Structure 1
Amino acid sequence: MTLPLLRKIAYGLLTVVFLVCSFNAISIVRDQYKATQALPRNEKLPLFNPHRSSFTCQIEATKVPPIDAQAELWFQEAKSLDDPDVWEEDRDYKKIVHLTRQAAERLHWKAMLNLASLYLENKDPPHGESEALLLVEQAMQLGVPAAYDRMGTFYMNGTGVSRDITKAHAFWQKAAELGNPPAMAYLGDMISATWDSPNDGFWANIPIATKMLDCALLQGYGPAALTLARLRGSPRATDGKISGEQTSEDKALALLILQKGVKFGCNDCARRLSVQFGNPHDLADMLVPHLDQARSERYAVLHDALDLNPLMRFPNLDKVLPLPPLPLSPWDGDKRTLIDAAKGVTNRPSELKSSAASRRQGRYYLDATYDLIPSEDKARGTEAPFAGYWQATAPSESAQVQTWLKDIPPGLYQPGEAFDLPRYPQGMGSRAIPELTWQRFLTVRHDNGVVNPVAATGMTREVTRTQPQRSCNALKTCSVTGTWQPWLSTEHPLHQVVNQPWRQAWVVAEQPFPQFVDGRYLPFDPDELTWNLMDSAVPNLG
C-alpha cells in the first residue's frame, strides 16, 4: 500500500471520527438545551393579561403538599428565633438555618421558600442564588403556588436568572390563578385603576381586581384589605366605575374590610384607621362615623407592632378595639398589654406520657408528641428521596409477607439514605424481599383530641387550657363570650387550612359564629366544623 493511499485512508478515518465526535457534541448540547428548557424557571406561560374577563378563586392551602407536624414545629421555632425584637447580629442564624433546613427536607413548602430567602440573605454561605433558585424550582415541581410567585420576583429582580419583566408578570399571574394570596393582592392592586397607564404599571379592570383581592383576603392575607376597602367601599357599576355617592353603608363596609385587614396583619390598614379616627384629611368625606382619639391611639400602637413584625396577627381585635358603636374597654396605656390582648390564644402544652413508639430505639423512635399517618407519597428504589418516616410495602407479595412488613414500624430516613431492606420472614428463606414500594408517613400531633393550634413563640398569648373543653357546632350559638377556635379533625384533608390561630374570633354570647370562609372555596360539611373555647377571660387592659 502506497504512502499517499495510507494518508487518504487515515484522513478519511479522522474525518469519520471528527464527524462522530461532532455529532455526539451536538447531541450533548441539544440534550443540555432540552434539559434547560424543561427547568421550571423556563416554563412557558401565557402572557399577563390585565384585561382578562374572568377569574376563579382558588385556595392555596388546598394545593400544597401536606405539612409534617414535626417539620411544622421546627419551622415555627426557626421563626421564633428570627425575632425582629432582637438585633439581627444577635440572632442565632446557624440554628435558624438548621431548623429551617430540617423542615424543608421533609418538604415543608414554607420552610423551603424561607430557606431560599436565608440563602439569598447570605445567612448560610456558600449557599446563595443558585441554591435558592433550585429550592424554589423544587417547590414549583411540588405545585406550590407561592413558588410561582417567588419565581416572578426572581425574574423582576434578576435573581439567579436574567431580568425579564414580562416573565415576572407571567409567573405572578400563574401564582394568582393557583391561589397565591400575595400574587392576587399585587396584581389586584395593579389592575384596580380607573384608566390604563401601562408605562406606569397600572390598568383598569376593577371587577377582576375585586375578585382577586376578595380571594386573597378570605385566605387571611391582610394587605389585600387596603385596596379592597377602596373598591368595595364605593358604589360601583358593572364595569367597576363609581356609580354614585358613597353612602353610610358603603363606609361601614370599608371599615369592616380594614378591620379585617388589621386582624390579618395589614399595618397600612391600622395606620389608615388611626388617621381616620384621629385626624382624617377630609372631615366631610371620612369613613368613620365620628372622631375618636382613643381608638386612633390604639390603632397606632397596632400599626407600630405590625410594622416591626409583619408576621403578627390580631384575631382578638374586636375584643380590645371593636368598631363603633361598640364601646371600648378601659386601657392603662401599656402597649404590650393591648398587643397581647389582641393576639390569638394557644394553650400551654401539657405533659404527655411516653408511647410505645417513643420507647423504641434508633430510626424507629417517634417522639410521644406525635402519631404517624400514611401520606400519598410512595417511592421505589433503595434510597429515601427526601427526609421522613418510610415503611416498606410489597403489594405483589402474599398476605403473610404483607402482614410481616406492616409489623415493621416506619423508620426515619434522611434524604438519599439507603433503606433498610427487609428480608422474608422465617421459614420463607433469608433473601431480601424484591420489588418493594416505600410508603411515606407524616407525623401528626398526638393531643388526644385536644384543640390547640400551633404558632411561633410570641405570636399568640398562652393561657391555661379551659376544663372541661367546651365545643360548639358551627351552625349553633354558644352561651359563653370568649375567644373561639374553628377546628376540623386532624384526619380531615382541610384541617391545616382551618386549624390556624389567626382564624380565631372573639364571639359574644348568643351571637352566631362567624362564617370565616365561603363554602364554595373550602368545601366541607358544616357539621364537621366545631368552634372551641380557648379563653373566656374578660378584656384585661390594665
Structure 2
Amino acid sequence: MRKLSYGALAAVAAVCSYKAFQIPYGQYKAEQALPRNEQLALFNPHRPTFTCEIEATKVPPIDAEADAWFREARALEGPDTWEEDRDYKKIVQLTRAAAERRHWKAMLNLASLYLEKRDPPHGARDALALVEEAMRLGIPAAYDRMGTYYSEGVGVPGDATRAFAFWQKAAEMGSPQAMAYLGDKVSATWDSPGDGFWANIPVATKMLECALGQGYGPAAYSLFEMHAWPRVANGNPSGPRTAATKALALQTLQQGIRLGCADCARFLLVEFERPDDLADMLVPYLDKARSERYRVLYDALHWNPDLRLPNLDKILPLPPAQLPQWNGDKKALIEAAKGVTLKRGQAEPGPAPQANGRAHVDAAYDLRPCDDTTTAVAAPCAGYWAPTAPGGPSQLRTHLATLPPGLYRPGEPFDSLYDPAVTGAAPITGLVWRRFITVHRDREAVAPVAVAGIAREIPPAELGLSCAAGMPCPVTGAWQPWLSSGHPAGAALNQPWRQAWVVAGQPFPTPWHGDKHHSIRPN
C-alpha cells in the first residue's frame, strides 16, 4: 500500500477536523494559509547531502537606528543586572520600536518577551503572530522558532514531527541554530529514532561546520567530538585518532570559545589539568597555567552566553605557542580577549533637518532605499517611505522624486498627494511607496558594532592599518575583516566576532573571498 506524504496526512487531518467541528470553510482556508500550517517535507535524518546557506544573506536589511534601539535593549538585560532590577518596560519599548521597523532579531526577541509576560496583556497568541510575520519575511530563525513552538506546544499543538520539519526547513534556509541542533542529532554512532538521534556523519559535519562558520559557538562542541573520535559515514569508528585529528579537535574547541561556547572552555580546562586518559589525551601536554585561564573563560561564558572572545589568541593561544604574561586579573584577561568596536564620534552636520515632520532624520544617519514596496494606502511597517509612480508621466515622476521620505508608524495611512501640474485634481492614485532604512553616515568606516559590554570600545584614532586579505599580516594585533558598504556579503562578514588576533607574518583568516583586513588596534 502506498504511504501518504506528510502534506497529504496533514490535509486529511485538517479536512476531518473541518467536518467534525463544522468550522466555516472560509475560516478553515484562512487557517491553512497561516505560516504555522505551512506544508513541509518530513525530516529526513539520512538525507544524502546538505548545502550551507548563510542566514545573514537571507534576512531583510537592518535599519541602523532600529539596531541601536535593539542593542540598547539587549544591554539592559545584561547579566550584570539582577532580573528584578531590569527595566522591562523600557526593554519592551525599545525592542518593539526596533521590531516595528522589521529588525528581525527584535521581532523574535519581542515574541520571547511576550511569552515571558513582560508586557501584559500580550502573550502566546501575539508571540505566535510575530513569529509568523517574520516567517513571511523569509527569516530562517523564525522557522527555527516555530519548530520550537511545536516542540513545546507554545500557541500550537505539541507535535514533534512538525517541529523537526520546521527545524529542517530553517536549516536549509540558513539558520545556524537549526543546523547545530539537527547536526548534533545526526552525529551519533548509531540510529535510535525513539531517543531522537541518528548516524549521518557527512551531513552532521556539513551542518555543524556551516553553523560554526556563521558564528554559532555551541556547534563547536558537537563538531569537536566528531574530530576527536573520528567516524565513518554510518557512525562507526574510523580508527584511532591521529595527531592531525587531535589538532583539528583542539582548533575547533578554540574557535568555539571565541564564539561563546562555555562547554568548549570547560573541556579544555579539564583536559589541560586532569584528562581522563593520560595515554591518549587530546592536548600535547599538561599545563595548569592554561587550565587556569580556561577556567576564567568558562566562568565568564557560563555567566554570560552572549560574550564573544574573538581575540582569544592574544591571551591564550594553543600550544606550541607560549603563554603571554598575565598578572592574574580575571577581568583584564576577559577584556583582552573581547572584540573591539570603535566609539562613534559626532556626525558631521548634514542638511538642516526639519524640527518636526515626517522628513526629520537624526543627524547620525542617512537614508538608503531598500527593496520593500507597497501599493497599500497605509504603511505595512514603521519606517521611512517615499512615493513613486513607475507607470506615471515623467513630469509626475520628477515631482515625486523631489519629495523626501517620510516617517510613518505601522498601519498609519500615507499622506494624500496631488499632482501640481493639474489644478483642482483629486489625490494621486496608484502610487507605489518604497521603504528607506537608516544607515550610519560614516557607513564606509571600519566600525563593527556590538551590544554594550560584549566588546571593548576604543577611540577611532586607534584604528590602524589596512591590508588586503591575501597579504601576510604586517603587524601583530587585532584585525577585522571588512567589506565595503552595500557588498552583498557585508552583513555576514562585518561582525566584531570575526576579528582575530594575528601575529605578524602569518596569513589572515579568509572567511570570504575579496575581503580586506583592517587593523583595529595593533600593539
Place the TM-score, normalised by the shorter chain, in its bin.
over 0.9
Which residue does 1:402 correspond to in 2? 397
| Corresponding residue to 2:335 among 322, 325, 340 | 340
Instruction: After TM superposition, give the deviation of residue 516 of structure 1 in Å.
Output: 2.3
SS of 1:85 mapped into structure 2: coil
Instruction: Using the TM superposition, give the Cα deviation of residue 314 of structure 1 relative to its aligned residue in structure 2, in angstroms.
Output: 0.5
2:276 pairs with 1:290:
no
Please state if 1:175 is matched with 2:161. no
Aligned letter for 1:232?
Answer: H
Alignment partners' CA distance in 2, 1:293 and 1:99? 45
Contact 1:113 1:135 survives alignment (8 Å): yes
Structure 1 pair 357/159, CA: closer, same or farther in 2 (3 Å)? Answer: farther
CA drift of 1:142 comes to: 0.9
The question of 1:479 aligning with 2:474 is answered yes
Which residue of the other structure, out of 311, 314, 317, is the alignment partner of 1:316? Answer: 311
The answer on whether the counterparts of 2:464 and 2:521 sit within 8 Å (CA) in structure 1 is: no
User: 1:245 is matched with which residue?
Assistant: 240
1:437-457: per-residue Cα shift (whole Å, max 9, x none)? Answer: 101111111116321111111
Quick check: 129-138 or 62-71, which moved more? Answer: 62-71
- Secondary structure of 2:272's match? helix
Equivalent of 1:494, from 475, 489, 492? 489
The Cα shift of 1:425 comes to 2.2
CA contact (8 A) 2:462 2:521 kept: no
In structure 2, what is the Cα distance between the partners aligned to 1:381 and 1:192?
A: 48
Secondary structure class of the residue paired with 2:24 = helix
User: Counterpart of 1:476 in 2: which secondary structure?
Assistant: coil
Aligned pair 1:353/2:353, yes or no?
A: no
CA distance change for structure 1 residues 469 and 393 in 2, over 3 Å: closer, same or farther?
Answer: farther
Corresponding residue of 1:536: 522
User: Where in structure 2 are the equivalents of 1:133-152 lying within 5 Å?
Assistant: 133-152=128-147
CA distance in 1 between counterparts of 2:232 and 2:198 reads 17
Displacement after TM superposition at 1:85 (Å): 1.2
Residue type of the alignment partner of 2:159: D
Quickly say closer, same or farther: Cα 1:396–1:309, change in 2 above 3 A.
same
Question: Within 2, Cα distance between the matches of 1:450 and 1:136?
Answer: 34
C-alpha contact 1:488 1:495 (8 A) present in aligned 2: yes
1:92–1:467 Cα change, 3 Å: closer
2: CA distance, partners of 1:449 / 1:359: 26
Instruction: Tell me if 1:122 matches 2:117.
Output: yes
TM-aligned CA deviation for residue 467 of structure 1: 5.7
Q: CA deviation at 1:357?
A: 5.6
Contact 1:189 1:209 in 2 (8 A): yes
Whole-angstrom distance in 2 between the partners of 1:250 and 1:66: 39
Q: Is the 8 A contact 1:466 1:533 kept in 2?
A: no
In the other structure, the counterpart of 1:444 is 439
Residue by residue over 1:384-410, the C-alpha shift from the partner in whole angstroms, topping out at 9 and shown as x without a partner, is 111010001112222222121111110
Whether contact under 8 Å (2:69, 2:97) holds in the other structure is yes
Contact between 1:378 and 1:438, CA under 8 Å: does it hold in 2?
Answer: yes
**What amino acid sits opposite 1:124 in the alignment?**
D
- Per the TM alignment, residue 459 of structure 1 is displaced from its structure 2 partner at its CA by 0.6
- Deviations, residues 254-289 of structure 1 (Å, cap 9, x unaligned): 000000000011110010111111111111121100
Higher mean Cα deviation, 56-65 or 127-136? 56-65
Q: Secondary structure at the match of 1:364?
A: coil
Q: Give the Cα separation in 2 of the matches to 1:133 and 1:309.
A: 27
Match status 1:304 vs 2:288: no
Q: Are 2:504 and 1:504 equivalent residues in the alignment?
A: no
Secondary structure in structure 2 of the residue aligned to 1:350: coil
Deviation beyond 6 Å, 4+ runs, structure 1: none
Change (3 A) 1:210 1:448: closer
SS at match of 1:278: coil
Contact kept in structure 1, 2:220 and 2:256, CA below 8 Å: yes
Aligned to 2:454: 459
Long gaps (5+) in structure 1: 1-25, 518-525, 538-542
Q: Return the offset for 1:463.
A: 1.1
Kept in 2, the 8 Å contact 1:357–1:366? The answer is no
Kept in 1, the 8 Å contact 2:201–2:231? The answer is no
Is 1:413 aligned with 2:399? no
- How far, CA to CA, are the matches of 1:201 and 1:396 in structure 2? 56
Is the Cα contact below 8 Å between 1:54 and 1:208 reproduced in 2? yes
Q: Which residue of 2 aligns with 1:103?
A: 98
Relative to structure 1, is the Cα distance of residues 27 and 388 closer, same or farther in structure 2, using a 3 angstrom cutoff? farther
Match status 1:48 vs 2:34: no
For residues 509 and 182 of structure 2, what CA distance do their matches in structure 1 show? 28
How far residue 217 of structure 1 moved from its aligned partner, in angstroms, is 0.7
Which of 70, 75, 78 aligns to 1:75? It is: 70
State the one-letter code of the partner of 1:497: A
CA distance in 2, matches of 1:366, 1:469: 31
- Structure 1 residues 372-391: aligned runs within 5 Å: 372-391=367-386
Q: Relative to structure 2, which stretch is displaced further, 507-516 or 318-327?
A: 507-516
TM-score by length of 1: 0.90
Asked whether the equivalents of residues 370 and 437 of structure 2 are also in contact (C-alpha less than 8 Å), the reply is yes
User: How many correspondences in the alignment?
Assistant: 503
1:238 Cα deviation after fit: 4.7
RMSD: 1.7
Equivalence for 2:272 = 277
Give the equivalent residue in structure 2 for 1:523.
none
* TM-superposition CA deviations, 1:159-216 (whole Å, max 9, x none): 1111111111111111111111111111111111111112222111112111111111
- Structure 2: gaps (5+ residues): 1-20
- Kindly state the Cα deviation for residue 431 of structure 1 after the two structures are TM-superposed: 3.6
Q: CA deviation at 1:309?
A: 1.2
Cα distance in 2 between the residues matched to 1:92 and 1:150: 25
- Structure 2 CA distance for aligned equivalents of residues 472 and 345 of structure 1: 18
Stretch deviating more after TM superposition (182-191 or 430-439)? 430-439
- Alpha carbons 2:462, 2:520 under 8 Å: kept: no
Choose 1 or 2 for highest CA Rg: 1
